[in-house]
Structure 1
Amino acid sequence: ARRVVATLSIGKRSHFATARVAMEAYAKRVGAEFVVVDSTAHASLARWNATLHSGSNSHFMKLPMLQWFLEHYDQLLFLDDDVLVSPFAPDLFSSVPCEAFGAVYEGYHKQGWHSMHARSFCSLYGLA
């Protein structure tokens, strides 16, 4: 099965330099291609870009992008560009069959929660 780990990170997103390290390592570990959509010119956004010209632009740019990836790969793991993947994360592709859909609901965390975990993440990867 052709697998891809994809993320959308357009513009100045300084945190992504750190998150990218873990995403790339995870993709390599699970045998997936790693793709960063970092421009509106990326092929996965062609359908979304077409709506710009018609005047009916959708704000849901991820939906046509995800559709594009699902047309080109057997399995897709989409991660927001601020996700810090643990080096101990399981192979999610093996946990969710090709014909199924898996998702995680991100609960509310108090302010400071993300920065606390980012510091731990940086220490774990020797980035601090």
Structure 2
Amino acid sequence: MKVTGIGIDLVEVPRIRDMLERHGQRFKERTFTAGEIAYCDACAEPAMNYAARFAAKEAVAKALGTGIWAEGVNWTDIEVVRADNGKPSILLHGAAKEHAAGSTCLVSLTHTRDLAMAQVLLA
């Protein structure tokens, strides 16, 4: 397996909670896919799950070497999905998919009440 990129990001959950309270649906729809919104809103502590997904999107952008809003990559081009057993994975759309050029994207997520972190490996 040839590694082509790695990214990591750490997000403060209170920051995302504040964004959700201040900007609500506008923030959600600009940053997350419909599937991510449905999943997070169904969780007992939505802000923790939104924060983990936010961190994952940042980590993917770092692994791609593009950042968000650069080279056509936007927030919703990167989607965190879950298998039936709960394992997270990344689906890439649009410009993010083009930049990944057929790479496999591996992700690990973790969160507490205060922090959420994601690590991504492109291979």
**Do they fold alike, i.e. is TM over 0.5?**
no
Q: So what's the TM-score if we normalise by structure 2? A: 0.28
Whose relative contact order is higher, 1 or 2, with alpha carbons under 8 Å and at least 6 apart?
2
TM-score of the aligned structures, taking structure 1 as reference length: 0.27
- The structure with more radius of gyration: 1
Specify which structure has the higher proportion of strand.
2
